Structure 1
């Protein structure tokens, strides 16, 4: 990056943080009136709390990222604008679901269509594994992105946990962009999302005064999935796996365990490791602090995989990341005396 690009990225992050906080404060009275999250079987909160701060977080992220792309002579591909449109659509679906729950099938279908549109807009020359037929790779990417969008929503069930996930990841993506290993537009998206999440953090600090809601967690998942896809296309697949590894592991293991028990996976539950941690005696702040520190460690490992550029090293680093995540999951699932 040039000096001007570095400054623009930093300014984008700061502006996004300030705008996000201001917008959340402005819509707070409306959310109290129309969008209260009532405690249910999945909830970690005990009293009704307004949800929908994601309206501000996502709006600010798209606005700041879009303006940054417009200010600099960045190569804005058609897929980037499709991404912005798909983000708005998925946020709209989430907003409707926050106010009046939508059944699983139409929700998933609309999400799948949004993701498919993004993948269709990508150049056919872009492939992670050139030996694999393009249609198979894109099909697998569709399923992976659809799962990631929803798992971010599933994991957004504890005060500050999404903050502890998103901020280290997006900060790492910005640093990777500084090194020239990511498209500049992706670095702008990461910086804007990092800043918008920082602006949201004071409102979600335990005990939270506001939640993101599906209007925030679903499109956050989509934007992160895009960033990881760009990492994979830049031949940094290990980094793309390492950065979200905690969320991937917690959500996927929980899903597989519930499927094995023949539980209805579409119903609210408290089976995630971070939820079990609070049931096992961990304070909320201990859980999110652990997740935050783990994500910093995973970000460092991701950076090493990019810097060292070796298949053998990537395997070793992935194993180290897996061990770190496994230790945290084991800790969360062990009752405290």
Structure 2
């Protein structure tokens, strides 16, 4: 426990300092997110803070990989895929690349991840015995790409992706304590959680810097890899429940926009948490509501889903649905809080 706390403190401090230095650089270079009609912030703020978070995270991962006697399946391929996603996402942050270009790199990163898993002798299947392997992998690959993008779509207010990432990685760490999971399930998520906490210090309301695509996209990619590893251990329910708020809010909003024949790749303010902000709630209030939901999901995933997967998923969906309803009806003290979505 002392070793884990020491690792957490070191990486949290490193991420906090790296974010501070990066923020000064971005301000000097004028790399700012300027508010528009779709924004949830009101003043120009540096974007691209994910560079600091991911630099600390991947440095810690490489150090762990070089010193550990054995790494998780696909570990090195995931690092390469993360670097590729960081590169294209940074270009998108500063130059606004086309959706097609981003998608091509995402497909490459996911294919690289699957190749790494298969090369390590781990064949992940969500529906073993029901679907042929190629179709199972196609479904998982599409789900992985969706997770990468929804993690980016959902990063729309101060602190939200930081809280989501910390909640998920804490769940992974507790699962590793409880079950005979490989050692990497403790240390690698711990490094993610610590690096994210250090960044969150600067991203909490009012945010001094934003994560940007360069942070949210590779984070979604890395967490997707952990979910595949959970599925390979028979923990498919936990893999669905831990990120369930993001999954439900993003998917609900996507379907709603499709039915309205809107361009789903364009920025918008129609997620449930964004409606809460538009109705007058502060970013901090909304994120704390989501944190409460995530704590409940973590408890269900860790202590209930292993023996009762379908029932636990039902309870988790009920909790997320209630949270989304609360956010859609969230009222602030301002006059704008009387608006209805």
Q: TM-score, normalised by structure 2?
A: 0.92
- 1:70-109 matches, within 5 Å, as 70-77=66-73, 79-109=74-104
Q: Does 1:36 align with 2:35?
A: no
The residue number in structure 1 matching 2:124 is 127
For residue 334 of structure 1, report the CA deviation from its aligned partner. 2.1
Q: Deviations over 1:280-317 (max 9, x none)?
A: 232221100001111011000001235xx33xx21111
1:315 alignment partner in structure 2: 310
Q: Provide the C-alpha distance between the structure 1 equivalents of 2:178 and 2:257, rounded to a whole number of angstroms.
A: 41
- 1:271 aligns with 270
TM alignment of 1:1-337, pairs within 5 A:
8-32=3-27, 33-77=29-73, 79-123=74-118, 125-128=122-125, 129-131=127-129, 132-306=131-305, 309-310=306-307, 313-334=308-329, 336=331, 337=338
**For residues 156-177 of structure 1, what are the alpha-carbon distances to aligned partners after superposition, in whole Å with 9 as ceiling and x for unaligned?**
0000111221111111111112
- Could you tell which deviates more after superposition, 258-267 or 64-73? 64-73
Alpha carbons 1:243, 1:302 under 8 Å: kept:
yes
- Mapped to 1, the partners of 2:66 and 2:2 lie a distance apart of 15
* Deviation of 1:63 (Å): 1.2
Normalised by the size of structure 1, how large is the TM-score?
0.93
Deviates more, 1:100-109 or 1:173-182: 173-182
Q: 2: distance between equivalents of 1:217 and 1:159?
A: 13
Give the secondary structure class of the aligned counterpart of 1:235. coil
| Aligned-partner SS, 1:333 | helix
What is the deviation of 1:183?
Answer: 2.6
Aligned length: 327
Segment drifting more, 12-21 vs 291-300 = 12-21
2-structure distance, mates of 1:228, 1:14: 25
Give unpaired runs (5+ residues) of structure 2.
332-337
| Preserved contact between residue 72 and residue 182 of structure 2 (Cα < 8 Å) | no
Task: Give me the whole-angstrom Cα distance separating, in 2, the residues matched to 1:135 and 1:250.
Answer: 29
Cα RMSD after superposing both structures: 1.6
Question: Per-residue deviation at 1:34?
Answer: 3.7
* Mapped contact 2:113–2:225 kept (Cα < 8 A): no
Structure 1 segments (4+ residues) deviating >6 Å: none
Secondary structure of the 1:270 match is: coil
Separation in structure 1 between the aligned mates of residue 250 and residue 86 of structure 2, nearest angstrom: 21
Distance, in Å, in 1 between the alignment partners of 2:134 and 2:6 is 39
